[in-house]
Amino acid sequence: MYFAVSCYDKDGGLELRMATREKHLAFANDSGRIIIGGALLGADDAMIGSHLIVEAADRTALDAFLATDPYAIAGLFEKVTVKPMKIAISNPI
């Protein structure tokens, strides 16, 4: 099952994001669950959050996985939204 996950940083979170970014990227790359991921950008192109398409068996497995993300462990996110997703189109970049 696939999930669209949007994570919004706490106000002033850019410094924490940058301090944790390398650990987060290593986690994401090694997970084997993230289909696509990237930073959400604000009006000034500054990173304000993350958006991921994640494969997981169910919502419980997804929540357990997301809880181990270094960004989540660091307390970066103010809000996280999750929606089940059916992929209709997937083009390689």
Q: Look up the CATH number of the domain holding residue 71.
A: 3.30.70.1060
The per-residue pLDDT for 9 is 98
Establish if 27 belongs to a structural domain: yes
Residue 76 resides in a domain = yes
Q: Could you say which residues of the chain have pLDDT below 50? A: none
Q: Which helix (H) or strand (E) holds 87?
A: none
CA of residue 22 relative to chain centroid, distance: 14
How would you write 1-66 as a 3-class SS string?
A: CEEEEEEEECCCCHHHHHHHHHHHHHHHHHHCCEEEEEEEECCCCCEEEEEEEEECCCHHHHHHHH
Predicted confidence at residue 90, as pLDDT, reads: 86
The answer to whether residue 24 sits within a structural domain is yes
pLDDT of the residue at 92:
79
Q: What is the pLDDT of residue 37?
A: 95
Give the total number of structural domains in the chain. 1
Which pLDDT score is estimated for 47? 96
Q: Which two tokens stand for residue 35?
A: 């289909």
Task: Dump pLDDT digits (tens) for 14-37.
Answer: 999 999 999 999 999 999 999 999
Domain that holds residue 54: 2-85
Asked if residue 53 is part of any domain, the answer here is yes
